[in-house]
Structure 1
Amino acid sequence: MGKHRIAVAGTGYAGLSLAALLAQHAQVTVISEDQEEAEKIGRCELGFEKAYIEKYFKEKKLALMATTDAEEACRRADHVIIALPGREIKKTEALVKLAVRCNPEAMIVIRTDVPVGFTRTMRDTTGSQNILYSPNFTQKERAFTDVLYPERIIIGTDLEDDRLCWAANAFAALLQEGALQDDIDVRFMNFDEAEAVKLLTNTAAALRIAYEHELDAFARENGLDAAQIKAALASDTVNVSAEQPVIPMTLQIR
């Protein structure tokens, strides 16, 4: 029996970092729309964390290639992973339909940021039960590091379908097999919940950035040391429960 075959649609940092991770133990084909880009990927020129990846490629023999023939890549794959930027919802939808048409037996895993309900809609639209959702949590500056040392793995599946739950476990095992992190927090939930986790993760990140900007502005306007304040806040262990409403207040220096 040959290596597990995986097609990855998505040549941004999310798709390529995942492709490199999986290529340690599987035959991975990245789908690109550009021939020159496909050739670069075939030479392992992935465009992020260059020094780390070059070192890793020297130490590992990764079975990684790229093609512009999406149909052929899907037809030959056991898994088709779609990891496009969140704004490319229509293209994600088209790729799901292409994969179902070319290879109805393949397990499709959506990694694109999508609206809540998208995966259920695609399952209804295509008639395929072979679709999972697994959100991407990598950051552009450290995408390869993030897949090697993931904080968590989330898989959205049909919790009442034993076959699909098995498939969800199998995909989680693929991610764990390539990772270097021990004791990864792996969670299985329904499709909508998994999509909501990613949506709310993005929201929380935006709120943190806004909070940082507000803190910096407050410190600057009042002649305070922002670094000192941040260090002190970082050690705060106060937890706010759902039963304890947060009372908004305006900070003022008198």
Structure 2
Amino acid sequence: MPAQRVAVVGTGYVGLTTGACLASLGHAVVCADADPRKVERLRAARVDILEPGLPETVRDALEAGRLEFTVDTAAAVAEAEVVFLCLPTPMGAGGAADLAAVEAVAEQIRDVLPPGCVVVNKSTVPVGTSERVAALLGRADVAVVSNPEFLREGRAVHDFLHPDRIVIGAAQRDAARRVADLYIALDAPLVLTDPASAELTKYAANFFLAMKLSFANNLATACERFGADIGDVTEGIGRDPRIGSSFLLPGPGWGGSCLPKDTHALLTVCEQAGVDFPLLRATIDTNVIHQRRLVERIAAACGRGPDGSLDGVRLALYGLTFKAGTSDLRDSPALAVARLLRERGAELTAYDPALCEEQPDLSDLAELADDPVRAAEGAAACVVLTEWPQLRDLDWAAIAARMAGHEVHDFRNLLDPDRLARAGLSWQGIGRASASARVA
């Protein structure tokens, strides 16, 4: 199949990964973004997103002459055979997806799209968005296709080039085939369907993953109550192929750039359509309840007075990003727990290896430390919130020497309890029998 001319509008996680990877497959790609500073940095192969393999993929594609960056969206799409919309769809009022960016770009490009090109919704969008975009374009000679992404942050390049499946929803078979041909070099199952089914597939996948995580966190509470071990229980059920072992690790709740907004968006559109979905609502509510429970556990261990007040109690937080391997703070469960602790009056100092250089402004929430030992100064307890593997190898003896207390609340079950005990620290995991006394 000959290379195609592709335009990608938006250079966030999805857009930049899509553009760079399609260029690596041999297509001629132009990525457009409204931010001149970002475009200038990308032209110099400077990628600000912490994503393994992405800087190298961008650099190689630039050097091969198959990837360009521009601020001129109209020029980018004017000669494209396929145009990908990779635009933000954040949570809007009432939980619905905010489609303002998608709609604005559709109106911007409708008069410059070449006849016969295909517009692809790559963004996560509600059912019916393909029809909405087609109506905004008002072009009978331009097909609109849904091709949702299934990229994990920290593994986005790998996931694009080694997909579990490629889902394409189109009303016209020829348009679907043209989009499928972009991926012809990849060995992956192809799911060809209608736009509504493709759009719902993405939401359904994220809901199911969120549901498994809420289940695992609720199961961890049961393990603590009964003196069971969450690791053994999830191994026992995860080896059943009908269940699977992925997304069964308990933690401080689920979050990130996709699951919170997508579950709320799905719940909203279901309510608008008169579809009762109590399991989805319970999945969301369980996540919030779980995070509050973890904060109560810290208050019971470190709080002052009969009500467990955390006023003036210093806590060291290890990890603020929503998962290891990324600098993304969007809807991070670590930040959600931190906010709850701050609301209770706790004084927070945080260390995150991905934020040492970026230093985002979190002054209303926590002081950022660039050294894990300094973060523990005067802390009544340490709280592990992100599963950074390098936290296992910290100098825990030095940390213990700086702390005012001796407890480590490991909400990722990441650390070695024996190693911490040798450093004079008391480890409290999640879903482990050792934590049962704390939550009785």
Q: After the TM superposition, which residues 117-132 of structure 1 pair with which residues of structure 2 at under 5 Å, given as runs?
A: 117-129=128-140, 130-132=143-145
SS in 1 for 2:154: helix
Residues 169, 192 of structure 2: 8 Å contact kept: yes
SS in 2 for 1:84: coil
C-alpha distance in 1, partners of 2:218/2:120? 38
CA RMSD of aligned residues (A): 2.4
C-alpha distance in 2, partners of 1:74/1:58? 22
Which residue identity lines up with residue 137 of structure 2 in the other structure? T
Residues 133, 156 of structure 1: 8 Å contact kept: yes
Q: 1:6 to 1:221 in 2, by over 3 A?
A: same
Specify the structure having the higher radius of gyration (Cα): 2
**TM-score, normalised relative to structure 1:** 0.81
Residues 110, 133 of structure 1: 8 Å contact kept: yes
Which residue identity lines up with residue 165 of structure 1 in the other structure? R
Report how far residue 215 of structure 1 moved: 1.9
The aligned residue for residue 111 of structure 2 is 101
Report how far residue 186 of structure 1 moved: 0.3
C-alpha distance in 1, partners of 2:58/2:42? 12
C-alpha distance in 1, partners of 2:159/2:11? 17
The aligned residue for residue 192 of structure 1 is 196
The aligned residue for residue 28 of structure 1 is 29
1:204 paired with 2:208, answer yes
Residues 27-36 or 94-103, more deviating: 94-103
1:144 paired with 2:157, answer yes
The aligned residue for residue 174 of structure 1 is 182
1:14 paired with 2:14, answer yes
Report how far residue 104 of structure 1 moved: 4.4
C-alpha distance in 2, partners of 1:110/1:133? 5
The aligned residue for residue 89 of structure 1 is 99
1:40-97 Cα offsets, whole Å, 9 max, x none, are 2223333446552345567663621211111111113221100123225111012122
Residues 49, 144 of structure 1: 8 Å contact kept: no
Report how far residue 203 of structure 1 moved: 1.1
Report how far residue 226 of structure 1 moved: 1.0
Residues 16, 46 of structure 1: 8 Å contact kept: no
Report how far residue 152 of structure 1 moved: 0.6
Which residue identity lines up with residue 64 of structure 1 in the other structure? L
**TM-score, normalised relative to structure 2:** 0.49
Identify unmatched segments of 5+ residues in structure 2. Answer: 91-97, 244-440
SS in 1 for 2:124: coil
Report how far residue 127 of structure 1 moved: 2.5
Which residue identity lines up with residue 132 of structure 1 in the other structure? V
Residues 8, 15 of structure 1: 8 Å contact kept: yes
C-alpha distance in 2, partners of 1:67/1:124? 27
Identify unmatched segments of 5+ residues in structure 1. Answer: 159-163, 240-254
The runs of 4+ residues in structure 1 deviating greater than 6 Å are: none
1:68 paired with 2:68, answer no
1:220 aligned residue (188, 203, 224): 224
Which residue identity lines up with residue 171 of structure 1 in the other structure? V
Report how far residue 238 of structure 1 moved: 5.2
C-alpha distance in 2, partners of 1:145/1:121? 32
Q: 1:237 to 1:21 in 2, by over 3 A?
A: closer
Q: 1:5 to 1:90 in 2, by over 3 A?
A: same
Report how far residue 176 of structure 1 moved: 3.2
Residues 99, 108 of structure 1: 8 Å contact kept: no
- Give 1 or 2: higher helix fraction: 1
Q: 1:98 to 1:45 in 2, by over 3 A?
A: same
